[in-house]
Structure 1
Amino acid sequence: MMKSQLMKYRSLLLVTCFAMLAFQPAIAQNMEEDNHSNIIKLNLTSLPLKNISLQYERILSKKFAAALSFRTMPKSTLPFKNAFANSIGDGDADIEAAIRMLKVSNIAITPEFRWYVGKKGYGRGFYIAPFYRYSHYQVSDIVVNYETTLSGPGSVSLSGDLNTHTGGLLFGAQWLLGKRIMLDWWILGPHYGAGNGSFSGVSSRPLNALEQNEVRNELENYDIPLTNKKVTVNSSGAVVDLSGPWGGVRAGISVGMDSATALMEGPLGNVREW
């Protein structure tokens, strides 16, 4: 049921965004041509998190705009991995070491539809924006250590993908600084949906029954709240399948340029002196 509702929400949002873009010339008939704007922005607050996040916003009318964001993180260790390991590991040295070693990369695509509620409009002031987000994560070097009396220590390294689909509502505000620079503040954007992933690893040697049990216990000890986890272990290695709810919060500060203002002179430049 959750998946069905999420798919309906995603489809409705995408259709709305693209419909507004398709019929934008008709909307523009009631506007001054100089009020059209294309804004390219960089999310500054994502950089310390090892993410590069860009957004394109198209002003459709005084009150409405459509935007598309793209985020990517090259393969790397987790940002602030030590703090994360200490908080999640809960004193378990093996779990803390595994968190510090694992590698992550991701991409995310986020279409949104903005409603500027203030008097100024045209990409300025407070806005409310329903959005959909698709994220794809690649995770590698999830090391699971095990040890038995007969065969001694060993390890299995897991890797895999995680995909998430969420929808949410962003509250923000945007200002024009001078003639060309835009400042966009994502105040709060909670989003919720579902995710699923699969991670597998092959052992360097065939696992006997005792070793399989040790690996299974280690994987079961990874506590992921509100997530359905299925652990499969055999003589070749292990597979972990995850599914369940997924959520997050969008927040940040972006700086960009009104490309129409930057590339054109004359009447448009005068209009943009807000």
Structure 2
Amino acid sequence: MRTLRNFSVLMIAFCLLFIPSGVYAQKSMVIGGNVIKANLSSAVLSNYQIQYERVTGPFQSVAIGFSISPNVKLPFGGSLSDAVGGDDDQIVKAIESIRFTRFSVTPEYRFYFGQKGAPGGFYLGTFARYTHMSMENIYPFTTDDGIEHEMEVKGTFNGYGAGAMIGIQWLLGSSITLDWWIIGPFIGVMNSKFDGVDNHPTDKLTPQQEADLEADINDVELPMWTVEADVQDMKATVDLKGPFYGARFMGLSFGFRF
């Protein structure tokens, strides 16, 4: 079976879903210690974000951000298909059929070092992040007797992480802000589960074929990840556990104060 390569490529595709948007342009409404920000540049990738920042002391603030990507395709899926799929129609279909919905919550604490205090100047921030994602796609594979199957796969991801970030926020006049996220790496843990159903109308997998498919999935090597698969009765369940990491970097956000 060509399941081992297909599954490895599919995992690479899923990892792309958790790469944060590199450039942020945010808009907000400001005149004091409150800043509301709406991310504009990430909307190009169908990732819609808002953030609220509140000054809590002369040099401190807290913020909370929300983002959602509703029922969208895999970002850069076409490029990934060209790079790893080539002429393999099964890999191309597995990648291009991915649809996902992702929701994230990011609470943050900032300490400002500038003489004017919060919310302007150079800052050091710490933050936590929770991400939930649901996805579905078609996972094609070919049995050892040459019959093509398509498994309908649905999965969920839950990631919990924390990190630190440095940046600069400029106060432009009485109500405009420009916030530059320089770098903000984070790390945590992620749990995910996939359920697949093979609805082939005539060819049913034999117990040996199901055992081979299960072994192929379990043999996939993902650094620092554990993979546990169970395949029986034309159904597959795969549990994955591993690190959740990424970075908020080179983000540029516009805002309003009030």
Band the TM-score falls in, shorter-chain normalisation: 0.7 to 0.9
Judged with a 3 Å threshold, the aligned counterparts in structure 2 of structure 1 residues 199 and 127 are, in CA distance, closer, same or farther, namely same
Whether 2:183 is the aligned partner of 1:188: answer yes
CA–CA distance in structure 2, aligned partners of residues 88 and 229 of structure 1: 22
Judged with a 3 Å threshold, the aligned counterparts in structure 2 of structure 1 residues 220 and 64 are, in CA distance, closer, same or farther, namely same
**Among candidates 109, 116, 123, match of residue 105 of structure 2:** 109
Tell me the C-alpha RMSD between the 2 structures. Answer: 2.3
Judged with a 3 Å threshold, the aligned counterparts in structure 2 of structure 1 residues 45 and 190 are, in CA distance, closer, same or farther, namely farther
Contact 2:193 2:238 in 1 (8 A): yes
Instruction: Report what 1:224 is aligned to.
Output: 222
Aligned length: 224
1:38 is paired with a residue of what secondary structure?
strand
Q: Structure 2 counterpart of 1:157, which letter?
A: E
Q: Which runs of 5+ in 1 are unaligned?
A: 1-34, 261-274
Greater relative contact order (CA < 8 Å, ≥ 6 in sequence): 2
CA–CA distance in structure 1, aligned partners of residues 149 and 79 of structure 2: 27
Judged with a 3 Å threshold, the aligned counterparts in structure 2 of structure 1 residues 236 and 135 are, in CA distance, closer, same or farther, namely same
2:57 is paired with a residue of what secondary structure?
coil
Whether 2:170 is the aligned partner of 1:175: answer yes
Structure with the higher fraction of residues in strand conformation:
2
Instruction: Report what 2:20 is aligned to.
Output: none
Whether 2:198 is the aligned partner of 1:200: answer no
Judged with a 3 Å threshold, the aligned counterparts in structure 2 of structure 1 residues 118 and 158 are, in CA distance, closer, same or farther, namely same
Normalised by the size of structure 1, how large is the TM-score?
Answer: 0.74
Instruction: Report what 1:49 is aligned to.
Output: 45
Whether 2:82 is the aligned partner of 1:83: answer no
CA–CA distance in structure 2, aligned partners of residues 112 and 57 of structure 1: 9
Whether 2:72 is the aligned partner of 1:73: answer no
Quote how far apart the aligned CAs of 1:188 are.
Answer: 0.6
Q: Which runs of 5+ in 2 are unaligned?
A: 1-30
Quote how far apart the aligned CAs of 1:218 are.
Answer: 5.5
1:257 is paired with a residue of what secondary structure?
strand
Instruction: Report what 2:28 is aligned to.
Output: none
Q: Structure 1 counterpart of 2:56, which letter?
A: L
Judged with a 3 Å threshold, the aligned counterparts in structure 2 of structure 1 residues 93 and 204 are, in CA distance, closer, same or farther, namely closer
Structure with the higher fraction of residues in helix conformation:
1
